[in-house]
């Protein structure tokens, strides 16, 4: 099936390309200190400079690598086990279902960001830790969505007929269940990525990342210290997060 | 009765998971924490005995659950006060923030969701607002709100905990964030119900459109909307952590952040259990009100 390429595809692609080719594109080194501190956007510094005189455009470009990297790892950490658990939950024998449901309700009763914070209290600070915590905190959500999709196809006639011709459970899952829940899973992967961008940057904004590794959340936090003199330091990284999440969400909407 | 059992079961499971994660996994993290603060080996041993950390895990677990039942959550590692006393003074500011924002988001979400139905410019703007606010990071809107309303216009204070004027910006920011999913579900539901048989009957009877909307459509659409509002509790609590940090409000969210950075496990554990209780309470209340509203649902 061919889909028409529209602006969300292009915008997401643009973000990925900017992140990959940040070293080639960025006009300055993101850590180099220029004499003009807190300079407003100009032709020399497209996004202006920050409190130390660093070029904000270059910092946002490099920050995108961090933010996209963290979100990609987090989404992978959430999706692989979440998908597996969701399928198992969906096909679990009837007597097991109430206790599984209670277990997942308990996991879902604590909000994702709180779970991520608790995990960070255990595993410590850092960008890798943030990616891991954001990913782990979303497993229960992914499992719930996957389970819903599995339950929807579980009693379909084609599954019944597969049973009837003697297909093994393993074969049924691989050839009948997975292909049919795939659209939901792919769309939800987009949602997971969006959440990971927002929550990953939130945690580094809150100071749980690493010094010297500025993602968009850290740049935003730096901007808060100088928002009176230089609002642009706060505006551009936030704009980047919003545009990326907006594009991914639009992509998801088109899939559903 | 089943509901009450479910409620207790989920809280117990959440408490147990928090216990396993925070007391079993970090192993001797508490001793490490004490050593960092300069305690001697003998002191650490004494404190560990005092906190019951040298007892076998099964006994620790039983005394932890027993304590929870009596409302005792152990002692904070950083202030040595009981966890309950550390959390209690923070509770009210967070509850006020969360409940006010929740109500604003519910009302705003339903209104904007209804506005999305409009086929003209109003609907287009409403739909764009919903999509945009789903993508806005709350820590960014918070900062922008401070820049515009506190710094440039000077209308409202940018930080602090007490007083109604210090509540306006945080509530505005948090409710915009929580409003979007509510609006989305309201829109989807209204669109579906718009062509339902009972609505067409009402139209065929010649009832005025506004009356149909109020008496037939809204009543049927509100059930799922209430369920979604209840599910936003998670968003609301996550958002409260960030909002409190952005606006320097001393609430539970900020306490959780500080305790995470300090690795004050007992406090973190207490807040996790409390947030699970809050989430379950909101969902039970939502369940009841859905039943009251929609006569089609029979328990």
Classify residue A49: in a domain, yes or no. no
pLDDT for the residue numbered A123: 85
Do B187 and B241 belong together in one domain? yes
Nearest CA in chain A to B237: A111
Give the confidence band of A83 by pLDDT, cuts at 50, 70, 90.
Answer: very high
Do B118 and B209 belong together in one domain? yes
CB A221 within 8 A of CB A173: no
Model ipTM value: 0.84
Do B20 and B143 belong together in one domain? no
Classify residue A234: in a domain, yes or no. yes
pLDDT for the residue numbered A233: 86
The pLDDT of residue A21 is above 60: yes
Do B92 and B50 belong together in one domain? no
- The Cα-based distances of B89 to A19, A207, B195, B262, B264 in angstroms read 45, 24, 51, 19, 17
Q: Is the minimum CB–CB distance between A2 and chain B shorter than 8 Å?
A: no
pLDDT for the residue numbered B31: 65
Mean of per-residue pLDDT scores for chain B: 82
Last residue of a domain, one of B46, B69, B92: B69
Q: Is the minimum CB–CB distance between A106 and chain B shorter than 8 Å?
A: yes
Record the pTM: 0.86
Do B162 and B253 belong together in one domain? yes
Do B39 and B187 belong together in one domain? no
Structure token pair of residue A98: 């109430």
Do B21 and B167 belong together in one domain? no
Mean pLDDT of B163-184: 86
Number of domains making up chain B = 2
Do B120 and B210 belong together in one domain? yes
Residue pLDDT, tens place only, A120-163: 888 888 999 999 999 999 999 999 999 988 988 888 888 888 88
Classify residue B78: in a domain, yes or no. no
Residue pLDDT, tens place only, A160-177: 888 889 888 888 888 888
**Residue A215: which CATH number?**
1.10.3720.10
Give the confidence band of A2 by pLDDT, cuts at 50, 70, 90.
Answer: very low
Classify residue B209: in a domain, yes or no. yes
pLDDT for the residue numbered B108: 92
Classify residue A39: in a domain, yes or no. no
Do B184 and B253 belong together in one domain? yes
DSSP state of A49: B
Do B248 and B108 belong together in one domain? yes
The Cα B299–Cα A42 span in angstroms is 65
Classify residue A36: in a domain, yes or no. no
Structure token pair of residue B28: 């001797």
Classify residue A41: in a domain, yes or no. no
Classify residue B76: in a domain, yes or no. no
* Separation in Å, CA of B89 to nearest CA in chain A: 20
Nearest CA in chain B to A249: B135
Classify residue B75: in a domain, yes or no. no
pLDDT for the residue numbered A82: 94
Taking Cα atoms as reference points, which of A54, A203, A183, A185 lies closest to residue A123?
Answer: A203
CB contacts of A113 in chain B (<8 Å) are 237-238, 241-242
Classify residue B266: in a domain, yes or no. yes
Between chain A and chain B, how many beta carbons pairs sit less than 8 Å apart? Answer: 141
Classify residue B74: in a domain, yes or no. no
Q: Note down the domain range covering B220.
A: 83-293
pLDDT for the residue numbered B1: 66
Residue pLDDT, tens place only, B75-88: 887 787 888 888 98
Classify residue B258: in a domain, yes or no. yes
Residue with tokens 């292909």: A179
Give the closest of B11, B135, B147 to A231, CB-based: B147
Share of chain B above pLDDT 70, in %: 91
Share of chain B above pLDDT 90, in %: 10
pLDDT for the residue numbered A159: 86
The pLDDT of residue A1 is above 60: no
Last residue of a domain, one of B42, B69, B96: B69
CB contacts of B33 in chain A (<8 Å) are none
The pLDDT of residue B30 is above 60: yes
Do B49 and B117 belong together in one domain? no
**Residue B272: which CATH number?**
1.10.3720.10
Q: Is the minimum CB–CB distance between A196 and chain B shorter than 8 Å?
A: no
Classify residue B52: in a domain, yes or no. yes
pLDDT for the residue numbered B34: 67
Q: Note down the domain range covering A118.
A: 2-18+57-255
Last residue of a domain, one of B43, B69, B95: B69
Give the confidence band of B279 by pLDDT, cuts at 50, 70, 90.
Answer: confident
Residue pLDDT, tens place only, B183-238: 888 888 888 777 778 888 888 888 887 788 777 777 777 777 787 888 888 888 88
Residue pLDDT, tens place only, B117-156: 878 888 889 888 888 888 899 999 998 998 888 878 878 7
Do B200 and B272 belong together in one domain? yes
- B75: region left, alpha or beta (phi > 0 left; psi from -120 to 50 alpha): beta
Number of domains making up chain A = 1
Classify residue A38: in a domain, yes or no. no
More confident: B63 or B104: B104
CB contacts of B138 in chain A (<8 Å) are 202
Classify residue A245: in a domain, yes or no. yes
Classify residue A37: in a domain, yes or no. no
CB B256 within 8 A of CB A117: yes
The Cα A57–Cα B69 span in angstroms is 54
Q: Is the minimum CB–CB distance between A71 and chain B shorter than 8 Å?
A: no
């Amino acid at each position: 099936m061919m889909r028409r390429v529209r602006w969300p595809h292009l915008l997401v692609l643009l973000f990925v390309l900017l992140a990959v080719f940040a070293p080639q594109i960025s006009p300055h080194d993101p850590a180099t200190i220029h004499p003009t501190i807190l300079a407003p956007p100009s032709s020399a510094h497209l996004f202006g400079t920050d409190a130390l005189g660093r070029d904000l455009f270059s910092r946002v470009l490099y920050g995108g690598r961090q933010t996209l990297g963290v979100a990609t790892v987090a989404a992978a950490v959430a999706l692989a086990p979440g998908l597996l658990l969701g399928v198992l939950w969906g096909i679990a024998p009837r007597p097991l279902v109430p206790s599984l449901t209670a277990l997942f309700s308990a996991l879902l009763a604590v909000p994702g960001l709180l779970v991520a914070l608790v995990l960070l209290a255990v595993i410590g600070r850092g960008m890798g830790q943030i990616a891991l915590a954001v990913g782990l905190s979303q497993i229960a959500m992914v499992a719930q969505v996957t389970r819903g999709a599995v339950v929807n196809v579980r009693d379909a006639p084609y599954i019944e007929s597969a049973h009837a011709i003697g297909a093994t459970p393993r074969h049924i899952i691989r050839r009948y269940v997975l292909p049919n829940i795939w659209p939901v899973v792919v769309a939800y992967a987009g949602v997971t990525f969006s959440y990971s961008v927002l929550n990953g940057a939130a945690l580094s904004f809150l100071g749980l990342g690493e010094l010297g590794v500025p993602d968009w959340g850290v740049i935003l936090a730096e901007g808060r210290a100088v928002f009176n003199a230089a609002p642009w330091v706060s505006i551009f990284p936030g704009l980047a997060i919003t545009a990326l999440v907006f594009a991914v969400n639009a992509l998801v909407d088109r899939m559903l | 009765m089943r509901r009450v059992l479910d409620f207790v079961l989920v809280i117990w499971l959440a408490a147990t998971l928090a216990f396993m994660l925070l007391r079993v996994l970090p192993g001797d993290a508490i001793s490490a924490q004490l050593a960092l603060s300069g305690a001697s080996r003998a002191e650490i041993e004494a404190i560990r005995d005092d906190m019951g950390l040298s007892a076998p895990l099964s006994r620790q677990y039983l005394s932890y659950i027993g304590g929870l039942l009596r409302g005792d959550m152990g002692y904070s590692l950083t202030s040595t006060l009981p966890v309950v006393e550390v959390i209690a003074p923070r509770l009210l500011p967070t509850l006020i923030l969360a409940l006010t924002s929740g109500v604003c988001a519910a009302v705003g979400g339903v209104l904007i969701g209804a506005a999305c139905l409009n086929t003209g410019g109003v609907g287009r703007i409403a739909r764009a607002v919903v999509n945009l606010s789903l993508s806005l990071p709350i820590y960014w809107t918070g900062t922008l709100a401070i820049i515009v309303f506190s710094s440039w216009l000077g209308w409202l204070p940018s930080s602090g905990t007490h007083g109604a004027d210090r509540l306006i910006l945080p509530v505005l920011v948090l409710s915009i964030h929580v409003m979007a999913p509510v609006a989305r579900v309201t829109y989807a539901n209204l669109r579906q119900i718009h062509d339902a048989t009972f609505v067409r009957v009402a139209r065929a009877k010649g009832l005025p459109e506004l009356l149909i909307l109020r008496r037939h459509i809204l009543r049927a659409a509100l059930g799922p909307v209430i369920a979604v509002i209840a599910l936003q509790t998670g968003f609301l609590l996550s958002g409260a952590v960030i909002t409190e940090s952005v606006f320097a409000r001393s609430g539970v969210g900020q306490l959780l952040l500080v305790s995470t950075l300090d690795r004050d496990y007992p406090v973190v554990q207490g807040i996790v259990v409390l947030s699970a209780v809050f989430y379950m309470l909101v969902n039970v209340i939502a369940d009841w009100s859905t039943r009251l509203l929609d006569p089609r649902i029979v328990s």
